[in-house]
Amino acid sequence: MEFEQMKVQLHALISNKTLLQATISQPRQKSNDLKRVKLKPVEIRGDYMIQLEFQYERILKHENITIEDLSVKLDALFEQFRQVHAEFQEQTVQVQLSKKNKVLWKSDQNTTVKQVNLSHNRKKQYLLDDSRVHPFLVRLGVQTEDGKIKKQKYDKFKQINRFVEFIDDSLAHLPKDRTIRILDFGSGKSYLTFALYHYLKIEKGLDIHVTGLDLKKEVIEECNRIAADLQYEDLQFLVGDINDFNEETAVDMVVTLHACDVATDMALARAVRWDAKVILSVPCCQHELNRQLQVPALSIMTQHGLVKERFAALATDSIRAELLSLVGYDTQLLEFIDMENTPKNILIRAYHTGKKPTSEQRLKYDEFVRFLNAKPFLENELQDLLL
């Protein structure tokens, strides 16, 4: 089969609306930042579309396109990749391209016809099962006594579920032979702190100890009352400033959810000092870099306050991720939740590896912060650990 014919055939198969899922992989260049692209059908406002999930080195991006637009997209993708694995209802197709685009097309009939699932609109299965009554959610006012998630609390419910999914994914990085110590910095009303305690201790039966820390005395007192009422014995809440926090000497996981401005950086710095195995942090508002940014080359963007604010937030999270990499963490910036729920939708995930950075990595970082005229709080905190 010729290369062009292969693309037409693949497009024709996808146009039949029998696609279950497909993966386009094997980059032609190893250095390609885009590693693979997954395709699946979705229904959006009644229209059949294809959702593309672009897996980059550090992030995932999504795009929904019509079948008509797919053929141009496939042309572009085959300039970058040499392999396709596509499952259709009745057959599974494997395509391998040589460097010169010689095509190897293999197709196997499925033994049973599978059902297409346009799962964009499927009811979400939450880790905290919303068909059950959870006493802590009732007590926190998220759920009614008869188990309904209150409408005005639904966004928070989605956020804590998503966060718990990330925690669940990171369990392999945590110790199995002793108590896992977890800190939630800037815990506030502590929806997340209670949720993670409930999920890990009550549902999974793990040996954990959880501390929530916040500046607000009354809020912390109320959280301690709730923990006592629920008999959550290994959950404690303390009043204090992250920056002065010395009560723990060894912490395995540090989490933050919307800790204001540089409070996120304080938490990241604390976590690094403890060599915490796992850091999961969803930053909040960002003012530090926004104040420092004076870069003529960026003025077309930064003349607009809104764009400047977003740019500063994105650059700050990139700087945070890079600093964590430079001090021995495998770090990724991931989509936390959809923009409709909250625009604060980046999660920093860092797993401790102890891997030393290269001097090029450090140079690249220095160039970036110099260009932005940035003086990051976190860099200052980690100065002695940087190469």
x/- track of binding to ligand SAM for residues 80-109 (CB under 6 A): ------------------------------
Q: Select 227 or 369, whichever has its Cβ closest to ligand SAM.
A: 227
For residues 286 and 301, give the distance between their C-alpha atoms in angstroms, rounded to a whole number.
17
Minimal distance, residue 213 CB to ligand SAM, in Å = 6
CA distances from residue 296 to 206, 303, 372 in whole angstroms, order as listed: 53, 10, 10
As measured in angstroms, the least distance from the Cβ of 280 to ligand SAM is 12
The structure tokens listed for 3 are 């290369």
Query: Of 34, 118, 238, 284, which lies in the binding site for ligand SAM, with binding defined by CB under 6 A?
Result: 284
Nearer to ligand SAM, 22 or 346 (CB): 346
Question: Are β-strands 208-214 and 278-283 bridged in parallel, bridged antiparallel, or unpaired?
Answer: unpaired
The distance of closest approach from Cβ of residue 159 to ligand SAM in the complex, given in angstroms and rounded to an integer, is 7
Question: Binding to ligand SAM by residue 214, rule CB under 6 A?
Answer: yes
Q: Select the span of 136-144, 164-172, 197-205, 211-219 touching ligand SAM (CB under 6 A).
A: 211-219
149 binds ligand SAM (CB under 6 A): no
Q: Which of 10, 134, 164, 186 binds ligand SAM (CB under 6 A)?
A: 186
Return the ∠ at Cα 301 (arms to 299 and 306), rounded to 5°: 120
Q: Residue 226 or residue 266: which is nearer to ligand SAM going by CB? A: 266
Q: Is 336 in the site for ligand SAM (CB under 6 A)?
A: no
CB of 191 or CB of 365, closer to ligand SAM? 191
CB 214 within 8 A of CB 187: yes
Among 164, 180, 188, 277, contact with ligand SAM (rule: CB under 6 A): 188
Specify the residue, 157 or 365, whose C-beta has the smaller distance to ligand SAM: 157
For the CB of residue 345, give the shortest distance to ligand SAM in the complex, in Å: 13
263 binds ligand SAM (CB under 6 A): yes
Answer for the pair 263, 186: CB distance below 8 angstroms, yes or no.
yes
Among 254, 259, 293, 321, binds ligand SAM (CB under 6 A): 259
Query: Per CB under 6 A, which region of 39-47, 124-132, 181-189, 334-342 contacts ligand SAM?
Result: 181-189
Determine which residue in the list 118, 215, 230, 298 makes contact with ligand SAM, applying CB under 6 A.
215
Q: Which residue number places its CB atom closest to ligand SAM?
A: 188
Q: Residue 187 or 331: which CB sits closer to ligand SAM?
A: 187
Contact between 226 and ligand SAM per CB under 6 A: no
Q: How far apart are CA 244 and CA 194, in angstroms?
A: 24
Q: What are phi and psi of 345, to 5 degrees?
A: -120, 30
Binding flag, residue 242, ligand SAM (CB under 6 A): yes
Residues that bind ligand SAM (CB under 6 A): 186-189, 191-192, 213-216, 241-243, 257-260, 263, 266, 284
